[in-house]
Structures are given as structure tokens and as C-alpha cells.
Amino acid sequence: MKFTEHHYVLPACWASYLINGDPTGFSLNDDGGDAEIATIDRLLDDVGLGGPVNCSDEPEFLKYHDAHAYGVLAADCLTFTFLERVES
């Protein structure tokens, strides 16, 4: 079985939800985090790779990142690694 790695630069504050499926970090938002969770879920659906398997250790503040097209503003970001299974 072979895999291809895909890397996406996304907000660091999304890491807990992306890696562990834990949305509690968004509960302080006015809407309980529903809008941000919906944005993340939409991005994951569009990417079609499931959840990430890893992320970088050190965040970097970026104005433009892979979630920018979804209306997400500048943020501290991490590089998330997703795997895609490919035919041998």
C-alpha cells in the first residue's frame, strides 16, 4: 500500500479539532464555535482526504494560508500533513 503526502497550511488553533476531533476550543466563540467548525468541515470535505496525520511543531504567523479562500483571516499557522492512498 502506498500513500502520497499532501500538506496544507492552516490555523494553529484548529489543531485540536483536526487531529483529535475536539471542538471544545471553539466554545468561547459567540456561537459556540459552530461557524468555525462548519468552515473546517467544509474545507475537509473539499480536500477529501479525511483528517491529518501530523502537523508541524512551530506556528508561523501568515496572512495568506490554505484556509484564506474560506474567509479565514491572518493567523498563527501550522503545516498539516494528510495522506492519500494511491494504487500501487
pLDDT computed for residue 47 by the predictor: 93
Strand, helix or coil for residue 39: helix
Does pLDDT of 87 surpass 90? no
Instruction: Judge whether 85 and 2 are in contact, CB under 8 Å.
Output: yes
Q: What is the pLDDT of residues 7-44, one digit of tens each?
A: 999 999 999 999 999 988 887 667 778 889 999 999 99
Q: What is the pLDDT of residues 36-75, one digit of tens each?
A: 999 999 999 999 998 999 999 999 999 999 999 999 999 9
Q: What is the domain partition of the chain in residue ranges?
A: 2-86
